[in-house]
Copies of this chain bind each other. A is one copy, B any other.
Amino acid sequence: MRTIEWKNGIVTTIDQTKLPNQTVSLKMKSCSGVAKAIKSMQIRGAPLLGAAAAYGLALTAHYSKARDKEQLIEELVAASRVLKRTRPTAVNLFWAVERVVEKAKETEGEAVAVAEAVVKEAVKIAAEDVEMNRRIGEHGSAVINNGDTVLTHCNAGSLATVDYGTALGVIRAAWKKGIDISVIATETRPLLQGSRLTAYELLRDGIPVTLVTDSMVGYVMSKGLVDKVVVGADRITKDAVVNKIGTYTIAVLAHEHKIPFHVAAPKSTFDLNRSAKDVVVEERSVDEIVKFRGVQVAPEGVSAFNPAFDLTPMKYVTSIICEEGILSSETFQKLSTED
């Protein structure tokens, strides 16, 4: 299922905050509209954030009245700043924004020609994401055996990408190959991406899925119900995987139960010049914890802590599955020293 698309100056996506109860399409005509959708998590998922940000700049370029290239670049840089302020953790957004601005800078000609190149680059980023996901799925399906139950966290599916998915791409590719696979999906508090999005995608594809609360991971592992863990990533530094809050908890449990822990992510998620300590972990509103759809579930005035991501050191990671193949965490770490 295609999650985001460009057509004649309109970017169409699905409002992920409304799923699975309603399928509402969201049409955006400005970069600030894209930024707003990212901030409110109508659009989420690291690879999708990359494509959406690129499309945001494409909208800026498409509707620009800039007289010359220089003025257009200024507008793109200003729009980039707005996009970069939306969410600090996923690196794909920064990567895509820089790639598009770079493209604009290196394109010769009038504002119109540069704007066209920007739109083309955004469309290319989205198309590449689909292709990268297919390759990740193809490579990753090799780690799945017949009869495996795979535990996944949050949503690293079609809805987190332009199409197909990273962790769910691996699961889909295995399923398509005829491998008998079933999935345990954690509900993923506070925003329930597991219940709302992952379960929705897998059910639609006919892949067997069972929901559990995040707290049940230890129990299902201790009962021998999990053969593999496959998750996505928002950023992979040289020493850690940054992903949805709860990933580290699952990684430690997998390690304790000797269950392989795989991370599926495109290379645009790699941030090899940085280490865990450089990563800004976004803290979101406590209302996500103390309220549920506006209804107070904790006493008024209670404190809460709401980091959106956590960091999993490489010692807990079995492999990183990217478009180029399966890298053991040792190989990955060598890669980062060479880089």
| Chain B residue with Cβ nearest A288 | B213
A246 to chain B minimum Cβ distance, whole angstroms, is: 3
Given A186-B215, A249-B253, the answer on whether A199 and B305 have CB atoms closer than 8 Å is no
Q: How many A residues touch the partner, as a band?
A: 35 or more
B residues in contact with A212, CB < 8 Å? 289, 304-305
- Residue from the list B222, B251, B290, B295 in contact with A211, Cβ < 8 A: B290
Which residue of chain B is the closest to A19 with respect to CB atoms?
B299
Question: B189 contacts A215, CB within 8 Å?
Answer: yes
> What residues of chain B lie closer than 8 Å to A282, measured between beta carbons?
none
B249 touches A215 (CB 8 A): yes
Which one, B195, B215, B303, contacts A298 given CB within 8 A? B195
Contacting pair B217 A289 (CB below 8 A): no
Residues of B within 8 A of A311 (CB): 219, 222
| Docked complex Cα distance between A305 and B218 (Å) | 13
A195 to B189, CA, bound (A): 13
A220 within 8 A of B: yes
Q: Which B residues are in CB contact (< 8 Å) with A286?
A: 211
> Are A213 and B289 in contact, CB atoms less than 8 angstroms apart?
yes
Distance in angstroms from A210 CB to nearest chain B CB is: 4
Given contacts A213-B214, A215-B249, 19 further A-B pairs with CB under 8 A are A20-B296, A187-B289, A189-B215, A190-B213, A195-B297, A209-B303, A210-B304, A210-B305, A211-B303, A213-B246, A214-B215, A215-B215, A216-B307, A218-B246, A219-B245, A219-B307, A222-B311, A249-B249, A256-B256
Q: Which of B189, B199, B249, B290 contacts A302 (CB 8 A)?
A: B199
Nearest CB in chain B to that of A312: its residue: B218
For residue A216, which residues in chain B have a CB less than 8 angstroms away from its CB?
245-246, 249, 305, 307, 310
Nearest CB of chain B from residue A108's CB, rounded to whole Å: 48
Per the bound structure, the CA–CA distance linking A306 and B216 in Å amounts to 8
CB contact list, A170-214 vs B, under 8 A: 184, 186-190, 192, 195-196, 199-200, 203, 208-214
